[in-house]
Chain A
Amino acid sequence: MARYGMALDYKNCINCKACEVACKEENGVELGAEKHRIWVGGNNPEGQWPLLDIASAAFLPSQCQQCDEAPCEEVCPTHATYYDENGVVRVDADKCILCSYCMNACPYDARYVDDRTMTVDKCTFCSDTRLARGETTTACQNTCPTKVRTFGDLDDPNSEISELLRTREHFSLKSHLGTNPKLFYLT
């Protein structure tokens, strides 16, 4: 049993989107722009050429924040959304009734409908694939050329992620909502 989390050194992101491709390939995510478990957000640079504010054109890789207090889990009427033994927020497709309440409740737009099962799907930290095979990396982390992502056990003080969170300043997205995400953005 672990408590998995992820640290993102997001300033290293070059928007190559290899993580998006790896996620789709590893987890068999449907094709289509709307069907994605992870994504890289980007801003257009502000200002007028040639005085462009390059610093404003940041990339922000993101996905399900694996909240400790997940709104999607709270609002699910049939407990289809649950925390597994590793603290990962998962969806039991057999129980999902597709009321879409979780999609509305998730502050991060991290959920989508899988048209094959007609249930809601989301990032599982590769629980059904890599973690199930005994590996301790995720597809997005493994493929990243600039090592943006560090995945590991937050309860293990010797893990790389614990070390990073002890030594680097970090923030979480929409932390004011009290969701306690397990994705940490390193500054």
Chain B
Amino acid sequence: MNFIKKIIPMKDFTLRSLMQFEKTPLNMLMFVITIALLVAFGWGVVEYLVHSHHAYNITRQHPWGLLIAMYIFFVVSSTGLCIVGSLGDVFGFKDYMAMSKRAILGSIVTILAGFAVIAFEIGHPVRMLIYNVLSPGLTSAIWWMGTLYGIYLTFMIIEFIFLMRNDMKNARIFGLTGLLVGLAAHSNLGGVFGFLNARIISNGVFYPTYFILTAFITGIYLTYLMYGFRYKMQIPDDIKKGLLGLAKIQALLLGILMFFETWKLMTAVYGGMPGRADTAEHIFHSAGFLYGEVLCGMVIPFVVMLATKWQSIKLYVFTSFIGMIGIFFMRYDLVHDTQVKPLQMMKITEYQLPPTWIEYFPSAAEIAIGFGAIGIFFMLYYFGQKMFELDATEH
């Protein structure tokens, strides 16, 4: 342990102290939720190990399901927290300096939760690690995304070590490199969908840029939630200034996002191009899009921030929770909407109706693993808080 402490400064802790926390109602609630999510994750993994992909509701026509959406949800969160963390230690904005350590820790634990999800979605994760190196598919966006995320995680860990050592010069170097690699990885994740010529609703430049924009938005939502919980709404002044600044940035980003989404849908519908216009109209009429993405993810947080003139941090913590529900729907819809239009429009089995929209609802195992991974995030974040001093503000 002393050897590790020489590399990265840590608090003094024992296994016993790691398990002890103040028994407030909120802490107890978080404890119960975390344990329930971890149990669900474990059950889902057992289901998967017993039944393989048959435990999931994915099909030939809809091969990507909730687990892909949750993987995206976590890695988007990671990139977003990396961007927020970089505001202070990479770009030197003093108001955000105090947030860097917590945000970078958040970016590390969210991507680990994402990796935990994708490990049970990919059919052969060990084979992936081997052939990713031995037989790299350089024209594949998945190869670039996966490889860059691996490098990104390494840089984030090194940046975090330097932050904990208060070595701001090196933290800045690795932070900037990690940020650039993270942005490249993340836009490649958008490219995974953008490169799909067969899926014209997703094909194009929109997703690679949209992913970066929504990552920043997600990062700000999570920063609010982390600080709201950390200080039980009694935010200290040095953090308050940064959070109020983030609210203004968030309102601007949400405005840009609504602008982008509006034009994406309008250009998709305009002209009535088969396969694109009908899919866009289908999306527009879905509850997930209207109530999840638009209302929770964009409109409610935007209106609250505008109405309160960027001055009500407590309210923003609650709207950030609503915002994260919206972000989940953005990820889920992104995956589902890409596949909702059948590629085979003729009936191929007798006595069936011609194909219409592809339907999908996640199985219990998918829900358990996908949402259970939030428990992994809670657990890792809790241990991170216990082991590292994240509140130091003076560099």
Chain A interface residues toward B at CB < 8 A: 33-34, 36, 39-44, 60, 71, 74-80, 94-101, 103-109, 111-113, 115, 118-119, 174, 177-178
- Is B122's CB under 8 angstroms from A78's CB? no
- Is A103's CB under 8 angstroms from B60's CB? yes
Closest to A59 in B: B346
Binds A, one of B89-97, B127-135, B224-232, B238-246: B127-135
A148 to B127 CA separation, bound complex (whole angstroms): 41
Report if A78-B137 is in contact (Cβ < 8 Å); known contacts: A43-B347, A97-B131: yes
A100 to B59 CA separation, bound complex (whole angstroms): 10
- Is B140's CB under 8 angstroms from A76's CB? yes
- Is A99's CB under 8 angstroms from B142's CB? yes
Closest to A101 in B: B142
A163 to B349 CA separation, bound complex (whole angstroms): 33
Chain B interface residues toward A at CB < 8 A: 52-54, 58-61, 63-64, 122-125, 127-128, 131-132, 135-137, 139-143, 146, 192, 195-199, 338-339, 342-344, 346-349, 354
Interface-central residue, B123, B199, B338, B339, by most chain A CB under 10 Å: B123
A160 to B141 CA separation, bound complex (whole angstroms): 40
- Is B61's CB under 8 angstroms from A104's CB? no
* Residues on the A chain within 8 Å of B123, using CB: 96-99, 113, 118-119
Shortest distance in angstroms between B277's beta carbon and chain A's nearest beta carbon?
16
Closest to B354 in A: A44
Interchain Cβ contacts under 8 Å between A and B, 6 examples: A41-B344, A60-B346, A97-B127, A109-B61, A109-B342, A113-B123
- Is B61's CB under 8 angstroms from A105's CB? no
Partner of B139, one of A33, A74, A95, A113: A74
- Is B135's CB under 8 angstroms from A104's CB? no
Question: At the interface, is chain B mostly helix, strand, loop or mixed?
Answer: loop
Closest to A41 in B: B346
* Residues on the B chain within 8 Å of A74, using CB: 139-140, 195
Extra contacts besides A80-B135, A97-B131, A118-B123 (17): CB < 8 Å = A43-B347, A60-B346, A74-B140, A75-B137, A76-B137, A77-B136, A77-B146, A78-B137, A100-B58, A104-B64, A104-B198, A104-B199, A105-B197, A107-B343, A111-B60, A115-B54, A118-B124
* Residues on the A chain within 8 Å of B124, using CB: 96-98, 118-119
Shortest distance in angstroms between A173's beta carbon and chain B's nearest beta carbon?
11
Give the 3 A-B residue pairs with the shortest CB-CB distance, closest first. A98-B123, A41-B346, A107-B198
Partner of B343, one of A33, A44, A106: A106
Partner of A71, one of B132, B192, B197: B197
Partner of B140, one of A77, A107, A111: A77
* Residues on the B chain within 8 Å of A108, using CB: 343-344
* Residues on the B chain within 8 Å of A104, using CB: 63-64, 196, 198-199, 338-339
A36 to B192 CA separation, bound complex (whole angstroms): 26
Interface-central residue, B127, B135, B137, B196, by most chain A CB under 10 Å: B137
A80 to B58 CA separation, bound complex (whole angstroms): 21
